[in-house]
A and B are shown apart, each in its own frame.
Chain A
Amino acid sequence: MAVTEGVRPVAERTSAKRPNRLFKNMTAKIASIPMILTALVVFIGCTLWTIYHSFTKSRLLPAPDKWVGWDQYERLWNTRRWLVSIENLAIYGVCSLVLSLVIGFTLAALLDRKIRGEAVFRTIFLYPFALSFIVTGLVWQWILNPQFGIQQVVRNWGWEGFTFDPLNNAEIVIYGILIAGIWQGSGFIMVIMLAGLRGIDQDIWKASRVEGIPAWKTYIFIIIPMMRPIFVTALVLIAAGIIKVYDLVVAQTSGGPGIASEVPAKYVIEKMFQAQNLGQGFAASTMMLVSVLVVLIPWAYLEFGGKRRD
């Protein structure tokens, strides 16, 4: 592209009328009409529809004429269950983000040291990702069950007083879910990281070896900054997994004990279909959307707005 533009005569560039940008690449634009329509109707249209109905008193069926203003939001933020859900999502989100990246990158870096049997380890680490959240949740429910799982095994080894029962302790139940989430997801992050590491030019390693820089310093100060796009991809994938966490909780604890492991997505689903209060569910899902946008907009601004400047 750059070459053709370069050879174009100066006279032609200045005298010829600039073609209308709208009609450039016409075929490509026609081909993408269905996708554009889908995006507009399904994503934006349905989002607006949801936001509108969150201001109504819709029960089992949408009732666009029963306008109630901010009532649903007032009720939402006065509900203990919602507040607990938000808190849980924050804990789960931060821990899951940090741990997935750290564990994923560490595993990838270790595998990248040209170890023997790499393929075997790669398969083992990636394997949990092949399981659905429901299966993961049930498996970990058994592993963490005090009568059959880790607690009992350690007690049988002789430590009679050993207690590890996160799923029945309201204080730490969210960490019990976190363990399962990390176990399921970090293998996938590892694979993405490994792909990124393989994309790094071997000359960089040779150069750093010549300079006598230790491997860990090379990773932190050279390799990781070079892998920025990979980290962004991993971040988006992890973040999407966090905000929609639902089935893992349903399978592992059903939100219990009490309401200690509730998450926003579960609140939305249950208010919409179980409590037959669409308005309340829409208000909650709108708040979820807002929280995503609060993170996404500044990031998109930095990511895409910044590029145009340089």
Chain B
Amino acid sequence: MKFMRNALVGTTALCAATAVSAADLEVTHWWTSGGEAAAVAEFAKAFDDKTDHTWVDGAIAGSGGTARPIIISRILGGDPMHATQLNHGRQAEELIEAGLMLDLTDVAEAEGWKDLVNPTSLLDSCTVDGRIYCAPVNIHSWQWIWLSHKAFDDAGVSVPTSWDEYVAAAPALESAGKIPLAMGQQPWQSNGAFGVMAIAIAGIDAWSEVNINKNAEVAGGETYAKVFEAAANARAFAEKSNVQDWNQATNLVITGQAGAQIMGDWAQGEFQVAGQTAGQDYTCLPGLGVNEIISTGGDAFYFPKQDDPAIEAAQKEMAALLLSSEVQVNFNLKKGSLPVRGDVDLAAANDCMKKGLEILASGAILPDGNQTFSPDTTGQIEDLMVEFWNDPSYSAADAQARYAEIIADAD
């Protein structure tokens, strides 16, 4: 009898406990393309299965440029979501300083993030005054060019192995009725492609001098002049590509209408969804096949502060879960990105991801633009780049002069 009563009391207590702790967490992100949606579904599934809480998906369509203002104005406006995606870097800097983000230091210590997260610069980006405020979930690098085998076969040229070979093959693509370079028209894409070309053409030293030390002399100098000329050249290749979104541009490459696209490794998810195989249907060249180096940008989850301690506990559970090995593997395989933990086994990774992992392991890494420039400076460079890439009358020299001006004022 006593046992029965105890058991009953126990169940009631358990019920009460779950009733209190089960929370619906609204998560905002801008992962809406095919590959991205498949990846974020892994997070949602893991969170629903492994905890008592529910993942309420708050996807915002239209890339980070559209989603970030919505996310930030919601946090500032006193209607914060429970968790949100942002990029590694300085996008949430002021929100953290204003005390609007949940401190995750205790989770990080309990889970040992300091030893796990590789490269450590990712955790540094989350750290303000020694406290950790975000959970990095993946590493994305910009430095890739994706080449369509079908397009090059149709044009009767072999698939290039470096940027110079690609430039030489472009006229053949053009005469075969292909768009040599697929390019979406959103500002961040123009800026990203330019950054990739800068690393490949101007070299790592010049790139670091401009992007990390903000040296306007180098930005206006001869080494960078070559980059601007190459970009002006590439602009002509991309003239007929009039799509907006990056995944539409990737689709041009997948279907063989375009020869190539300079895009980060998230493009890989699209090839995967389309059922294509690396090395067979498409080729990826890190660093445009010139300088094999990758930048370690990517995504991190931030947890805006809530008043409710039950929700806070659920937020911390989610943070811990996002970095657990199994979730990291499942998510990153779908997303085509690299895991933030050095200790997980990605045997199922395809050729392109393996190349990325090798480069990551060799330590040939650079910080991402989002980590080195403030959003304001990034915005100014994006404005310049999107105009330069789309207006054939904007000369390389003029654009470079403006670029040097922005770098001189950069912060």
Contact = CB atoms under 8 A, between A and B. Distances in A.
A79 B387 CA distance: 12
B379 A274 contact: yes
Interface stretch (A101-109, A255-263, A290-298): A255-263
Interface string A157-169: 0000000000010
Interface in B373-411: 374-376, 378-380, 383, 386-391, 402
Interface string A250-289: 0000111111100000000111111111001000000000
A170 B239 CA distance: 12
A269 B69 CA distance: 8
Contact of A275 (B375, B388, B389, B391): B375
A24 interface: no
B168 interface: no
B139 to A, nearest CB: 23
Contacts of B383: 79-81, 259
A259 B94 contact: no
A59 B387 CA distance: 24
A273 B387 contact: no
A60 interface: yes
A46 to B, nearest CB: 14
Given A254-B186, A273-B73, A274-B69, A259 B376 contact: no
B186 A273 contact: no
A61 B98 contact: yes
Chain A interface size, as a band, is 20 to 34
A147 B313 CA distance: 52
B72 interface: yes
B305 interface: no
Chain B interface residue bracket vs A? 20 to 34
A80 B387 contact: yes
Contacts of A259: 383, 386-387, 390
Contacts of B91: 276
Interface in A208-226: none
A78 B145 CA distance: 35
A269 B242 CA distance: 25
Contacts of A170: 390-391
B156 interface: no
Contact of B242 (A80, A81, A168, A274): A168
B379 A60 contact: no
The SS class assigned to the B binding surface is helix
Nearest to A269: B69
A259 B394 CA distance: 12
Interface in B72-109: 72-73, 76, 91, 93-95, 98
B72 A273 contact: yes
A128 to B, nearest CB: 23
A254 B386 CA distance: 11
B110 to A, nearest CB: 30
Given A270-B379, A276-B376, A277-B376, A258 B391 contact: yes
Given A81-B383, A259-B386, A274 B375 contact: yes
B387 A81 contact: yes
Nearest to A274: B69
A256 B380 contact: no
Contact of A258 (B72, B73, B380, B389): B389
A254 B244 contact: yes
Contacts of B98: 60-61
A257 B185 contact: yes
Contacts of A81: 383, 387
A274 B65 contact: yes
Contacts of B386: 255-256, 258-259
A80 B76 CA distance: 30
Contacts of A270: 65, 69, 379
Contacts of A80: 383, 387, 402
A256 B375 contact: no
Which of A258, A271, A273 has most B Cβ within 10 Å?
A: A258
B376 A280 contact: yes
Nearest to B375: A276
Interface string A226-261: 000000000000000000000000000011111110
B68 interface: yes
Contacts of A277: 375-376, 379
B95 A60 contact: yes
A61 B375 CA distance: 13
Most buried by A among B68, B73, B379, B388: B379
Interface of B: 65, 68-69, 72-73, 76, 91, 93-95, 98, 185-186, 242, 244, 374-376, 378-380, 383, 386-391, 402
Given A254-B185, A257-B390, A275-B375, 15 more contacts: A80-B383, A80-B387, A168-B242, A170-B391, A254-B186, A256-B390, A257-B242, A273-B72, A273-B73, A274-B65, A274-B68, A274-B69, A275-B378, A275-B380, A276-B374
Q: Which 9 A-B pairs have the closest CB atoms?
A: A258-B390, A275-B379, A273-B69, A60-B94, A257-B390, A276-B375, A258-B387, A277-B376, A256-B185
11 contacts: A80-B387, A80-B402, A170-B391, A257-B185, A258-B185, A272-B69, A274-B375, A276-B72, A276-B94, A277-B375, A277-B379
